[in-house]
C-alpha cells in the first residue's frame, strides 16, 4: 500500500472486541497482554475482557513497577518482561523422541507447531525483532520448520507505542515507536473522555478480517491526535547512541579495559538474554526414562552467560564473566551485522529493566567510546 492509499479509521474498544471475535472465529488463538504476578505477561486469551486494562508501568534500571488507573486503557504500558518470541520460538519444545528396539531405536515425532496465532498489542520494536528472528531461522541454508509454520500463520495487531520508558531507545535503533509495516492491523490508542483508537490496515489479511466490520473513517483531527502522541513519544526517549559506530567500537576493542569494569557488576545471571526479543541461543537436552528404553530430545533456550555454554573437552572457552558479557554485547551490537546484515538490538530496553544490578548497555557503549 502506498502512503496516499493508507486509510485510517476511528475505532472503539467495542470495535476491537469485534476484531478479537472475528479472529477467534477464524481459528486464531488470540495472545495478548494480561496482568499476572504484578507484571504484564503475554498469554493465550479466550475473551477480550482478559486483556490488561488500565495498567501503567514505571521502568528504570533494574526496576519494574506496575500500577493501575481507572482509565480503561489497553496499551498504555510499555513492555513487560516477556516478548512474543516465546510463541514463535518456545522456551522448551520436544524435538523428537525415540524408543529402543534391540540394537537400534525408532524415532517418533516431537511437538507440533501451534495452530494459527494472533498477537495483540505488539510494539514496533518487537515487530522488528520478529523480522530479525526471520533472518536467523528462515533465511539461511537451513530453515527452522517449527518457526516457519508458526510465523506463516501469524496475525499481528500492533499498538503504536505512546508510553516509552526511561529504558527505551528505539529512536536510536530506528525500530519505533510508530509501527512501520510488518503488521496486519495497527492501532494507536488515544486516551480521552471516551478512549478511541486510530486503526491502520497493513495487509490484505488485515483488510479481509475487518471487511465485515463497519469502520468509521477517522477525521483529520483524530489522526493528528494520534500522530502527536507518537511524535511526543519519540521526544521522550533521551538515550542516544549510534548503532553503526557502536558496532565498529566493539569489534575493535575486545581487550578494552572497560570490560573489566562491567564484569565487576555483571552477575552472569542470563536475565538480559532471556528477556531479549532477539536472543536466539538454544541447547539440547536428552531426557531418558529410568528403564533406558525411551528417550526424548528437547530444545530449550540457552544463554551465552551460562557456564557450560562454551564447554568443549578440557574446559570452558569463556570461563569469566568478562568474556561472557563481551560475547553478548559484541555479538548483539556488532557481530550480528556480519551474520544477519542487521543489528541484534531493537531498543526495547528489557535488558536494562530486568538486569538485577541495573547495567545499561547504552551507558557501557558510551564508556567504551571514551
CB-count exposure of residue 23 (10 Å: 0-12, 13-18, 19+): buried
Please report, as ranges, the residues that interact with other proteins according to CB under 8 A: 95-96, 98, 100-110, 136-137, 140-142, 144-145, 251, 254-255, 280-284, 286, 288, 292, 295, 297, 299, 302, 304, 309-314, 317-320, 322-323, 327, 331, 334-339
Based on CB atoms, which residue is closest to other proteins, 62 or 113? 113
- Minimum CB separation of residue 294 from other proteins in Å reads 8
Which residues have a Cβ under 8 Å from the Cβ of 297 and sit 6 or more positions away?
Answer: 94, 95, 96, 97, 98, 110, 284, 285, 286
Q: What interhelical angle do 361-369 and 258-265 show, nearest 10?
A: 160
Q: Cα separation of 80 and 97, whole Å? A: 34
Residues 278, 303: Cα–Cα separation, whole Å: 12
β-bridge partners, 56: 67
User: Residue with C-alpha cell 475505532?
Assistant: 11
Smallest gap from Cβ 246 to other proteins, in A, equals 14
State phi, psi for 219 to the nearest 5 degrees. Answer: -80, 155
Residue closer to other proteins, measured from CB, 61 or 149: 149
Nearer to other proteins, 271 or 278 (CB): 278
Shortest approach of other proteins to residue 352 CB, angstroms? 22
CB of 240 to other proteins, least distance (A): 25
CB of 119 to other proteins, least distance (A): 22
Q: Which is nearer to other proteins, 29 or 310 (CB)?
A: 310
Least spacing, CB of residue 86 vs other proteins, in Å: 16
Amino acid at each position: 500500500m502506498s502512503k496516499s492509499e493508507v486509510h485510517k479509521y476511528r475505532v472503539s474498544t467495542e470495535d476491537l472486541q469485534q476484531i478479537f471475535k472475528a479472529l477467534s472465529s477464524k481459528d486464531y488463538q488470540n495472545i495478548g497482554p494480561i496482568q499476572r504476578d504484578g507484571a504484564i505477561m503475554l498469554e493465550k486469551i479466550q475473551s477480550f475482557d482478559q486483556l490488561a486494562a488500565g495498567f501503567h508501568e514505571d521502568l528504570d534500571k533494574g526496576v519494574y513497577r506496575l500500577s493501575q488507573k481507572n482509565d480503561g486503557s489497553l496499551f498504555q504500558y510499555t513492555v513487560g518482561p516477556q516478548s512474543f518470541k516465546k510463541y514463535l520460538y518456545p522456551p522448551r519444545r520436544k524435538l523428537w523422541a525415540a524408543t529402543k528396539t534391540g540394537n537400534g531405536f525408532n524415532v517418533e515425532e516431537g511437538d507440533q507447531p501451534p495452530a494459527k496465532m494472533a498477537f495483540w498489542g505488539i510494539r514496533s520494536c518487537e515487530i522488528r525483532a520478529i523480522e530479525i528472528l526471520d533472518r536467523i531461522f528462515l533465511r539461511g541454508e537451513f530453515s527452522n520448520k517449527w518457526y516457519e509454520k508458526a510465523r506463516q500463520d501469524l496475525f499481528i495487531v500492533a499498538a503504536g507505542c505512546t508510553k516509552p520508558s526511561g529504558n527505551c531507545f528505539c529512536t536510536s535503533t530506528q525500530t519505533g515507536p510508530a509501527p512501520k509495516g510488518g503488521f496486519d492491523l495497527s492501532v494507536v490508542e488515544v486516551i480521552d473522555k471516551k478512549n478511541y483508537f486510530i486503526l491502520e490496515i497493513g495487509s490484505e489479511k488485515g483488510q479481509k478480517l475487518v471487511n465485515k466490520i463497519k469502520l468509521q473513517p477517522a477525521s483529520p483531527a483524530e489522526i493528528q491526535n494520534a500522530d502527536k502522541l507518537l511524535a511526543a513519544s519519540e521526544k521522550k526517549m533521551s538515550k542516544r547512541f549510534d548503532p553503526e559506530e557502536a558496532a565498529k567500537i566493539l569489534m575493535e576493542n575486545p581487550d578494552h579495559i572497560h570490560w573489566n569494569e562491567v564484569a565487576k557488576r555483571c552477575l552472569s545471571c542470563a536475565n538480559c538474554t532471556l528477556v531479549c526479543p532477539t536472543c536466539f541461543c538454544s541447547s539440547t537436552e536428552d531426557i531418558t526414562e529410568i528403564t533406558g528404553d525411551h528417550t526424548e530430545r528437547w530444545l530449550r533456550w540457552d544463554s551465552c552467560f551460562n557456564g557450560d555454554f562454551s564447554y568443549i573437552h578440557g574446559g570452558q572457552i569463556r570461563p569469566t564473566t568478562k568474556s561472557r558479557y563481551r560475547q553478548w554485547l559484541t555479538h548483539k551490537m556488532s557481530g550480528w551485522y556480519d551474520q544477519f546484515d542487521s543489528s541484534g538490538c531493537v531498543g526495547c530496553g528489557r535488558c536494562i529493566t530486568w538486569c538485577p544490578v541495573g547495567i545499561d548497555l547504552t551507558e557501557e557503549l558510551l564508556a567504551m567510546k571514551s
